[in-house]
Amino acid sequence: MAGNARATSRRPKRDETLKERRARKATAAAEKAVTKQAGADRAVAERAGAKRAGAERAGAERAGAERAGAEKTGAGEARIIIVDPDALEPGAREIARSGPPSRKTAEQKARSKETAKKATKKKAAKKPAAGMPAYSAEPPAPALDPVSIAEIFNRFQAAEPEPKGELEHVNAFTLVVAVALSAQATDKGVNAATRTLFQVADTPEKMVALGEAQVIEHIKTIGLFRNKAKNVMALSRLLIERHGGVVPSSRAALEALPGVGRKTANVVLNMWFKQPTHPVDTHVFRVGNRTGIAPGKDVVAVERRLEDVTPAEHGLHAHHWLILHGRYLCKARKPECWRCPIADLCGFTEKTPDPAEA
């Protein structure tokens, strides 16, 4: 009983000692955190002060160097002071190596901004809009009236009743391939390359069997020939897998083929399937805008305009007439206006005079 009484009397004392110990530990931890934070604040303040002091020293040394450099000798010659950059403070060292910062006047700053604006505008003017060919530099002529457009196509028909495309082909498949290869290339160059290619591969099956390496050998004289060879192989396989090796007569199906865009699809639909489509290439785009037949900011706008204004009886041959007119008469750099059959109807104002009369 006595032992239990003693144990009972001591417990409160032990509990009180435990509380005190916990309180002391908490107080010590708080004091330690405060001390640590104070030390960090002092370190930050010391670094900031050192940085300011270094900058002030560098400024003073730079000012002294400039004053010393500006001093004149008795003979009127400038005294040159050579300073070793490695002997200076870090801030002054960088200034000594790179030279003092330039001080532009308000007028110089304004001039620089104006120059930058002009350069930006010039660059934006050179960059064609989405879908617009890079050759559309000159402003379009005002749109011609329907009577004038009908007369233009009547004259084209009188000069060339049955115009033909100049890309050589033997069937719908070779036409698709030839038109796809003609991107950023001339018809003459494409014909020279495909003449031997189509002798050995005039169907999708034969083209796949020939292989990409051999296709490259045939068309390597054409620009972008490696990528075009891949597209030819891919479209050949797709024609076999999806269409049984037959070229489809649907625009959507044609445009789903690798390397076949809107223009290529329109050419195939027009030339092989005899649909009145209006493919727009560099020549059609230029003639449409320059003459006023179909002014538009991009190829799709020109195509839509041609669909609206071309007389139905001329729909099948319209794009061939425009291509031939642009290729041989209405040339990009120097149109031969003096022998143009539609010069009196054309909206182009800066007509080229006959060189024989110059």
User: Which is it for the CA torsion 268, 190, 286, 150, positive or negative?
Assistant: negative
Q: How many CB atoms lie within 10 A of CB 165?
A: 18
215 sits in the region (left: phi over 0; alpha: psi -120 to 50; else beta) called alpha
Give, in degrees to the nearest 5, the angle at Cα 217 between 212 and 222.
100
Alpha-carbon distance 290 to 182, whole Å? 24
Alpha-carbon distance 181 to 201, whole Å? 15
Q: Give the residue numbers marked as catalytic.
A: 263, 281
The CA-to-CA distance between both ends of the chain, in Å, stands at 140
Measured in whole angstroms, how far is the alpha carbon of residue 59 from the centre of its chain? 46
DSSP-assigned letters across all residues of 109-160: HHHHHHHHHHHHHHHHHHSPPTT--TT--SPPPPPPPHHHHHHHHHHHHHH-
Rg (CA), the chain: 41
Strand-pair partners of 72 = 78
